[in-house]
Amino acid sequence: DQQVKQNSPSLSVQEGRISILNCDYTNSMFDYFLWYKKYPAEGPTFLISISSIKDKNEDGRFTVFLNKSAKHLSLHIVPSQPGDSAVYFCAASDLNTGNQFYFGTGTSLTVIP
């Protein structure tokens, strides 16, 4: 049972425009969320996180938005750059019950120069 879902397997965006990657979850007890970026032949690298006590967290060009009522989070990249082309995974956890993180299936972002 996939508790974290990324329904868009791929996304293409023009350089300089906004990239919006979406993630939905089913477990209302999830209270911590992260985004990772993965290049081919490398492990995922941490991008940004958000706790359920917040609805927005920003780090440079990356902003994560959390809508708890909709069980939805999104990652905004502004402006998008060709180097952002990678697979993006969202992950979620219920920290009260342990440190197991549930990952989505990933969205492949292509930024077109």
Partner 1 sequence: KAGVTQTPRYLIKTRGQQVTLSCSPISGHRSVSWYQQTPGQGLQFLFEYFSETQRNKGNFPGRFSGRQFSNSRSEMNVSTLELGDSALYLCASRTTVSLRYEQYFGPGTRLTVT
Task: Kindly list the residues in this chain that would bind partner 1 in the complex (CB under 8 A).
Answer: 2, 4, 6, 32, 34, 36, 41-46, 49, 89, 91, 93, 95, 98-106
Distance separating alpha carbons of residues 71 and 31, to the nearest angstrom: 11
Cβ 91 to partner 1 shortest distance, Å:
8
Cβ 105 to partner 1 shortest distance, Å:
4
Judged by beta carbon, residue 80 or residue 89, the one nearer partner 1 is: 89
Q: What 3-state DSSP class applies to 82?
A: helix
Judged by beta carbon, residue 5 or residue 79, the one nearer partner 1 is: 5
Q: Are 46 and 57 in contact (CB under 8 A)?
A: no
Q: Are 85 and 77 in contact (CB under 8 A)?
A: no
Distance separating alpha carbons of residues 100 and 13, to the nearest angstrom: 32
Judged by beta carbon, residue 35 or residue 85, the one nearer partner 1 is: 35
Judged by beta carbon, residue 69 or residue 99, the one nearer partner 1 is: 99
How many other CB atoms sit within 10 Å of the CB of residue 23? 26
